[in-house]
């Protein structure tokens, strides 16, 4: 079963956001990393840019497929996880090993806090995952 921490907010596109003050730390969910498997490259193309909620902000390359990452909230992308961003070798696989911890992707300075209400809580996201799982 995919882990879905209770203290995070989620998107329908399988990102998570940990909101602390006006900063959102962003990553992809355990369900998403498992679907993608074998992450080999991460790039946050929107680093330093101001983005709107649901804008693409970067991409993840797995062995089998490429997947876009979308902004859970509007704001400025102020930081990336330098341990994995554009890294080679084993480092990007941290997204698989620890998607909610060391596998975080970027931080957004939130410009429209009211959007937080539009994100899914853990129970709503668990429902979404349940519907997406074939087995």
Partner 1 sequence: MIKQTPFYPRHLSAGGKIIEFAGYHLPVQFKGIIPEHHHVRTKVGVFDVSHMGRIRISGNDALRFINHMTTNDASTLAVYQAQYSVMCYPDGGIVDDLVVYRLPDHYLLVVNGANNEKDTQWLLEHRNGDVRIENITDAVAQLAIQGPKAEPCLQKICSIDLAPVGFYWATEGKIAGIDCLISRTGYTGEDGFELYIPAQSALAVWDALMEAGREFEIEPIGLGARDTLRLEMKYCLYGNDIDQTTNPLEAGLGFVVKLDKPGGFIGSEVLKQVAQEKPARRLVCLEMLEKAIPRPRLPVFADDNQIGITTSGTMSPSLNKGIALAYVQRRFSSSGTELTIEIRNHRARAVVVPPPFYKSGSRKK
Task: Give the residues lining the site for partner 1 (CB under 8 A).
Answer: 34, 37-38, 40-41, 59, 61, 63-66, 88, 96, 134-135
Minimum CB separation of residue 1 from partner 1 in Å reads: 13
Contact 55, 70 (CB under 8 A): yes
CA nearest neighbour of 9 among 105, 122, 93: 122
Q: Which is nearer to partner 1, 6 or 135 (CB)?
A: 135
Q: Which residues of 25-55 are buried (b: 16+ CB within 10 A; e: fewer)?
A: bbbbbbbbbebbeebbbbbbebbeeebebbe
Minimum CB separation of residue 40 from partner 1 in Å reads: 5
Q: Which is nearer to partner 1, 66 or 118 (CB)?
A: 66
Minimum CB separation of residue 35 from partner 1 in Å reads: 9
């Amino acid at each position: 079963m995919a882990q879905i921490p209770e203290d995070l907010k989620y998107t329908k596109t399988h990102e998570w956001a940990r909101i602390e003050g006006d900063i959102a730390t962003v990553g992809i969910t355990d369900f998403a990393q498992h679907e993608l498997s074998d992450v080999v490259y991460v790039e946050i193309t929107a680093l330093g840019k101001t983005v709107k909620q649901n804008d693409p902000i970067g991409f993840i390359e797995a062995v089998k497929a490429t997947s876009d990452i979308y902004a859970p909230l509007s704001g400025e992308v102020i930081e990336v996880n330098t341990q994995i961003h554009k890294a080679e070798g084993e480092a990007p696989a941290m997204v698989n090993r620890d998607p909610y911890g060391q596998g975080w992707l970027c931080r957004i300075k939130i410009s429209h806090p009211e959007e937080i209400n539009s994100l899914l809580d853990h129970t709503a996201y668990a429902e979404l995952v349940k519907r997406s799982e074939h087995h």
